[in-house]
């Protein structure tokens, strides 16, 4: 696994990591929960600081979705601790989730987070992992572009709705231009199912633009 970016649908690599909250074994530590692992290039940098504040300010919203957060960079644990102290003292925000200290780069290497043309720092990556330890989404951002934490929250909500109802999630859900807060019913794979879809649409059970594009409201 070393040096290769894990793929969607794969089990998150088994890693024992040192964090600001002590040693943690991934993904076992978060068994039964979703978790978001996000890497940042370095402590005491402006863009990373804005991201950490954003994650912390939405931490309770993540928790409401049975989701935990864990950060990572190639810094020593004392650097993380001092940076967290600085954020609390100067910005009035207490970072309550753990941060992985990866000063030897082993974790970053296992997750494919070091890109040769970006120096030796970790890129801004996001791994969304489900309660079974399966990687459901991977996002990569360049060092110069900060992430949108609200989009990561939306992804978690979308995955949970998709898993519960067996549906797909449209663009910018729940504020899609075509279907609003509805979700997409999986396309019919045979003629009989296509016919059933149109009958359900006539009965008001679902709404369809055509047999292959149906949508519905879920709670």
Q: How many CB atoms lie within 10 A of CB 122?
A: 26
- What whole-number distance in Å separates Cα of residue 87 and Cα of residue 125? 21
Statement: residue 198 has pLDDT above 70? yes
The yes or no reply on domain 15-146 and CATH 3.40.30.10 is yes
In this prediction, residue 5 carries a pLDDT of 80
Tens of pLDDT along 62-90?
A: 999 999 999 998 888 999 999 999 999 99
Q: Predicted confidence band at 1 (pLDDT cuts at 50, 70, 90)?
A: very low
| CATH superfamily entry for domain 166-219 | Antioxidant, Horf6; Chain A, domain2 (3.30.1020.10)
Q: Predicted confidence band at 12 (pLDDT cuts at 50, 70, 90)?
A: very high
Q: What is the mean pLDDT of residues 6-31?
A: 95
Q: Predicted confidence band at 118 (pLDDT cuts at 50, 70, 90)?
A: low
Tens of pLDDT along 120-175?
A: 567 789 999 999 999 999 998 888 888 999 999 999 999 999 999 999 999 999 99
**Per-domain residue ranges of the chain:** 15-146, 166-219
In this prediction, residue 28 carries a pLDDT of 96
Statement: residue 3 has pLDDT above 60? no
Checking 157-164 for CB contacts under 8 A at 24+ apart, the result is 157/65, 159/34, 159/128, 159/130, 160/34, 160/65, 161/218, 163/130, 164/218
Q: How far apart are the first and last CA of the chain?
A: 39
Specify the higher pLDDT residue, 102 or 171: 171
Q: Is 89 exposed, middle or buried (0-12, 13-18, 19+ CB in 10 A)?
A: exposed
Go through the chain and tell me how many residues it has. Answer: 219
Residues carrying an active site annotation: 48
Q: Which of 114-118, 130-134, 135-139, 178-182 has the lowest mean pLDDT?
A: 114-118
Tens of pLDDT along 24-36?
A: 999 999 999 999 9
In this prediction, residue 121 carries a pLDDT of 63
How high does pLDDT run on average in the chain? Answer: 91
15-146 and 166-219 share one CATH topology?
Answer: no
Q: What is the mean pLDDT of residues 98-122?
A: 76
């Amino acid at each position: 696994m070393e040096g290769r970016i894990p793929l969607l649908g794969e089990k998150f690599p088994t890693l024992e990591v040192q964090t600001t909250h002590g040693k943690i074994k991934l993904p076992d530590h978060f068994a039964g929960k979703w978790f978001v692992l996000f890497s940042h290039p370095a402590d005491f940098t402006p863009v990373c600081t804005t991201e950490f504040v954003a994650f912390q300010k939405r931490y309770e919203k993540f928790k409401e979705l049975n989701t935990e957060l864990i950060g990572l960079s190639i810094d020593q644990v004392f650097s993380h601790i001092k940076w967290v102290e600085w954020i609390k003292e100067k910005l009035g925000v207490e970072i309550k989730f753990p941060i992985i200290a990866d000063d030897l780069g082993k974790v970053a290497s296992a997750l494919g987070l070091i890109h040769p043309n970006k120096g030796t720092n970790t890129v801004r990556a996001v791994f969304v992992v489900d309660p079974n330890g399966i990687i459901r989404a991977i996002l990569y951002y360049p060092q110069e572009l900060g992430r949108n934490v609200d989009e990561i929250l939306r992804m978690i909500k979308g995955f949970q709705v998709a898993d519960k109802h067996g549906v797909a999630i449209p663009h910018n859900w729940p504020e899609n231009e075509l279907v609003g807060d509805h979700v997409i019913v999986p396309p019919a794979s045979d003629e009989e199912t296509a016919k059933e879809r149109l009958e359900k649409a006539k009965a008001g059970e679902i709404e369809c633009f055509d047999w292959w594009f149906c949508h519905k409201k879920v709670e």
